[in-house]
Amino acid sequence: MVREQTEDRLSIGEIYDRLHTAQRRSAALKRLWLHASGDDYPAAYDHLSFITLDELQRARLELRLSPGHTLVDLACGTGGPGLWLATQTGARLIGLDVSETAVAEARLRAVEVGLSNQVDYRRAGFEATGLPSASADGAFSVDALVYATDYAATMREIARILRPGARFVATTFEIDPGTAESLGVPVQDGLSDSRPILEAAGLQILAYEELVGSAQRLRATLNAVVNARDALVVDTGPIALKVFISELSRCADATFMKRRVFITAERQSTVP
């Protein structure tokens, strides 16, 4: 959501490089985020999004993957949720992220969980994955679609890389356009309701549902991060932590984030 450079001339990419490094190596951030994810969430697959184990289990069922299939994890971060899916399904995993630090940390995590021969992490964005057409049996994204610079192009790219009948599963946020505009946040078609953009790209919507309880978890997580900032700043640095808290504040603002939704969409036999 935040795309400008900070006053200390760190780009947003550099900010998130620092946060991804801290996520894997900060004991304080790990404890806080695992609590936010739920007590049953497996620690080896932690993340900096808001997905729970129940949501991951639903994603596994909706994706319908088996050994030999290929799953693409878009904006994979340091890899936790995607690696959990690969472990559970036996699918080959291709993780894509614009952060080279995230990709490097995801590769290390794959070694730690014994999946290094089953995964391939690459630096790539939403709109240009570099993958062949109709090469994926599933695509997956956790709470990251709001960062796409071109939402419609992102959905077309997802449809392009999926085989006919393959599914895209995501959790994402709906943004209120009026509030976003007043805050200077870029507003694109699809960010307030993804369904028209998904359908225009040739993705049939099978599920599009609000994830009840997400707002309360977002607010609780924000409060926990603010309360723990003295401990967190040692690992993240002050500027990265400032931006992180700002992002969490927007996520927890009900006038900005309308709701968090779970999406399942299937690639049609022909796409536009």
pLDDT (tens digit per residue) in 221-234:
889 889 999 988 88
pTM of the model: 0.90
Rounded-to-10 torsion of CA 231, 232, 237, 243? -140
Q: Which two tokens stand for residue 251?
A: 């996520």
What local confidence, expressed as pLDDT, does residue 202 receive?
Answer: 97
Domains of the chain with bracketed CATH: 12-267 (3.40.50.150)
Q: 3-state DSSP call for residue 119?
A: strand
The SS3 of residue 176 is coil
203 forms beta bridges with 267
Which pLDDT score is estimated for 94? 98
Position 256 scores a pLDDT of 82
Give the pLDDT of residue 247: 81
| Rounded distance between C-alpha atoms, residue 61 and residue 70, angstroms | 15
Question: What integer pLDDT is reported at residue 142 of this predicted model?
Answer: 97
The strand pair at 92-97 and 70-74 is best described as parallel
Q: Which two tokens stand for residue 271?
A: 């796409």
pLDDT digits (tens, 9 = 90+) for 98-134: 989 999 999 999 999 999 999 999 999 999 999 999 9
| pLDDT score of 118 | 96
pLDDT beneath 50: ranges in the chain: 1-8
Report the alpha-carbon distance of residue 180 to residue 184 in Å, rounded. Answer: 6
